[in-house]
């Protein structure tokens, strides 16, 4: 019996096609994101064949944005956010103003009204949350100063767009749109929106700071992993929904604050792990939903406006951001990172464009230009970051003697090789890794730690230990451990997929190296051994052996009596 199931068909077809085209893009050394966007174009309304449900795809994509921002919040703290307010607030506002003015100029050239230009410029000024965060996460930059500035900048942009969405209907009336309006009504709308934002932040800091960690700790004490996982998703999704419904705040902003409040809990890292699989899946659906909006014909019918729109997004915004960051005294590397991060547009741009057309403020051609600008800028953004990575890597030798602390806060900028020999290399300094390092320190065995948590690395360095912040799967980072002269490598990270990459690279560097890794299942043991691990230890196996050994001791003791 046939079933009409648009939700299931949208999810299955979107994910299957994204997987196939993402793998194909990866095969040709392109970011998988390119494949996800092409999958969206293939199942969109402007290409023949199967057409997915656009409304459902957009809602599924919103879940990805919520989980992504919640995950970012888990790695942030209120202190982190406040530490970059001096650059994030004026920087974001100045960049929005610059982009809006450029949009107004392009609109005037095309014969549009000033009100259309303002809406058009605002839509081009705000970067996509998902694109920016994925680029930073791939490079382990979220917890660096550059990452904190970029995320703080993004939060300010989100708040500004919330205000813009509330004020647009009032401005439409003032410009003679759907209903009459006055300066007083605009001021009232602005005051109410600001009051709601302040109320939301106050509730999160006063009530949420106590309730959210308490809920998670209570669920952890039940001993049920299923309930713990469910509580994480309820906190993320529930807070985002309540923020939007009760305070008029975006889903993304609500989820970010929920994660940031929870980051002060000892369970925050476990919470982050629980959301990771669904977060990645729904983030893929976001890019598919963006691809579905793309109408390829506009590239042919309006090539000059398309190029001009792209120049504002890729060049105009980037130059403005670079100049602003440099004006505040930050390094060239930081300014370039912020510029690359903002050289794209996304979800808020679509919402602004749709509202602008609905209020008769923006012509439909403007919405089409915004959509094509988003698609192409998102496609080009990974290439911009790759070019930036190569440029910073080439610049590194010349700058190393004068590198600032900020410029060396990630392995991509300054990776200094270890000078240790006959040492142990320890990848990961969580619960297992810290126990290993304690034993090595006690036995006075020289060791070198690679850990992606900046705070943990800083604590190790304060104790006089050799440590590097970064992802050991990065070839530049693993080379810095001087594995050719090492006696042993311990891979203590819980992720067997990433661990396999580390093991394989280490084996290529030193074929004779003893490599000991950890695993959680027989399949992970096989995976790690296949990539070159000498020995793989599974916690459950060792616990079972210890318990059986204890039983044997008791039996021998009883026999002796």
pLDDT tens per residue, range 195-227: 888 888 888 888 888 888 888 888 878 777 788
Q: What pLDDT, on the 0 to 100 scale, is given for residue 272?
A: 67
- At 143, the pLDDT band (50, 70, 90 cuts) reads low
Q: What pLDDT, on the 0 to 100 scale, is given for residue 155?
A: 82
Please give the residue that has the higher pLDDT: either 38 or 166. Answer: 38
Question: Average pLDDT of 397-420?
Answer: 46
- At 394, the pLDDT band (50, 70, 90 cuts) reads low
* Residues 432-469: tens digit of each pLDDT: 889 999 999 999 999 999 987 767 887 888 888 888 87
Q: Bridge partners of 518? A: 537
Is the model's pLDDT at 507 over the cut of 50? yes
Pair of tokens at residue 399: 């700058």
Q: What pLDDT, on the 0 to 100 scale, is given for residue 549?
A: 81
Winning range, highest mean pLDDT, from 130-144, 385-399, 507-521: 507-521
Q: What pLDDT, on the 0 to 100 scale, is given for residue 298?
A: 85
* C-alpha dihedral sign at 323, 324, 327, 329: negative
Winning range, highest mean pLDDT, from 343-347, 369-373, 551-555: 369-373
Q: What pLDDT, on the 0 to 100 scale, is given for residue 104?
A: 94
> What is the share, in percent, of the chain residues with pLDDT greater than 90?
21
End-to-end CA distance of the chain: give it in Å, rounded. Answer: 73
Q: What is the DSSP letter of 463?
A: T
Question: Average pLDDT of 87-93?
Answer: 89
Q: What pLDDT, on the 0 to 100 scale, is given for residue 461?
A: 85
Task: Output the pTM of the full model.
Answer: 0.65
Residue where the block lists tokens 């998102």: 378
- Which residue, 413, 433, 411, is CA-closest to 424? 433
| Mean confidence (pLDDT) of the chain | 81
Q: Bridge partners of 466? A: 448
Pair of tokens at residue 291: 């691809």
Q: What pLDDT, on the 0 to 100 scale, is given for residue 123?
A: 92
Q: What pLDDT, on the 0 to 100 scale, is given for residue 412?
A: 40
**Quick count: other Cβ atoms within 10 Å of Cβ 380?**
16
Task: Return d(Cα 110, Cα 100) in angstroms, integer.
Answer: 15
* Residues 28-38: tens digit of each pLDDT: 877 787 888 88
- At 561, the pLDDT band (50, 70, 90 cuts) reads low
Half-sphere exposure (Cβ direction) of 90: Cα atoms closer than 13 Å: 8
Exposed / middle / buried, residue 389 (Cβ in 10 Å: 0-12, 13-18, 19+): middle
Question: Average pLDDT of 334-352?
Answer: 86
The region of weakest confidence among 70-84, 234-248, 522-536 is 70-84
Residue where the block lists tokens 């996800």: 36
């Amino acid at each position: 019996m046939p079933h009409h199931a648009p939700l299931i068909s949208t999810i299955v077809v979107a994910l299957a096609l994204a997987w196939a085209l993402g793998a194909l893009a990866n095969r040709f050394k392109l970011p998988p994101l390119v494949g996800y966007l092409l999958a969206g174009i293939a199942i969109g309304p402007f290409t023949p064949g199967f057409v997915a449900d656009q409304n459902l795809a957009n809602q599924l994509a919103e879940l990805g944005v919520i989980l992504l921002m919640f995950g970012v919040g888990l790695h942030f703290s209120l202190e982190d956010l406040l530490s970059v307010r001096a650059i994030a607030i004026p920087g974001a506002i100045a960049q929005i103003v610059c982009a809006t003015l450029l949009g107004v100029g392009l609109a005037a050239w095309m014969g549009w009204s000033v009100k259309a230009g303002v809406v058009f410029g605002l839509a081009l000024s705000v970067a996509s949350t998902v694109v920016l965060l994925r680029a930073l996460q791939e490079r382990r930059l979220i917890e660096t100063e550059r990452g904190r500035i970029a995320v703080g900048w993004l939060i300010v942009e989100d708040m500004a767009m919330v205000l813009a969405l509330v004020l647009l209907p009032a401005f439409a009336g003032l410009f003679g749109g759907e209903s009459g309006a006055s300066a007083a009504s605009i001021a009232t709308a602005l005051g109410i929106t600001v009051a709601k934002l302040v109320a939301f932040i106050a509730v999160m800091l006063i009530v949420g700071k106590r309730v959210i960690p308490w809920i998670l700790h209570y669920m952890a004490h039940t001993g049920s992993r299923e309930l713990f996982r469910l509580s994480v998703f309820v906190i993320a999704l529930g807070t985002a929904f309540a923020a939007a419904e009760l305070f008029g705040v975006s889903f993304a902003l609500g989820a970010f604050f929920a994660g940031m409040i929870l980051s002060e809990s000892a369970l925050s890292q476990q919470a982050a792990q629980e959301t990771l699989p669904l977060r990645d899946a729904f983030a893929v659906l976001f890019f598919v939903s963006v691809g579905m909006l793309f109408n390829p014909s506009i590239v042919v019918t309006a090539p000059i406006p398309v190029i001009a729109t792209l120049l504002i997004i890729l060049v105009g915004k980037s130059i403005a951001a670079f100049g602003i960051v440099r004006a505040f005294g930050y390094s060239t590397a930081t300014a370039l990172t912020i510029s690359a991060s903002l050289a794209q547009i996304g979800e808020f741009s679509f919402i602004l464009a749709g509202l602008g057309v609905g209020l008769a403020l923006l012509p439909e051609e403007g919405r089409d230009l915004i959509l094509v600008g988003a698609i192409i800028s998102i496609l080009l953004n990974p290439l911009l970051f790759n070019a930036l990575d190569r440029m910073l890597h080439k610049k590194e030798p010349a700058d190393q003697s004068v590198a600032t602390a900020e410029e060396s806060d990630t392995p991509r900028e300054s990776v200094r090789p270890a000078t240790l020999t006959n040492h142990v290399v320890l990848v990961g300094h969580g619960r297992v890794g810290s126990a290993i390092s304690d034993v090595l320190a006690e036995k006075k065995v020289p060791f070198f730690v690679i850990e992606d948590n900046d705070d943990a690395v800083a604590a190790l360095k304060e104790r006089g230990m050799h440590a590097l912040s970064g992802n050991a799967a990065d070839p530049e980072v693993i080379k810095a451990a001087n594995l050719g002269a090492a006696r042993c490598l311990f891979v203590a990270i819980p992720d067997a997929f990433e661990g396999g990459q580390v093991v394989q690279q280490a084996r290529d560097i030193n074929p004779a190296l003893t490599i000991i890794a950890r695993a959680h299942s027989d399949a992970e043991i096989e995976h790690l051994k296949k990539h070159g691990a000498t020995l793989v230890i599974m916690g459950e196996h060792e616990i079972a052996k210890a318990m059986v050994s204890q039983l044997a001791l008791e039996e021998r003791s009883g026999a002796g009596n």
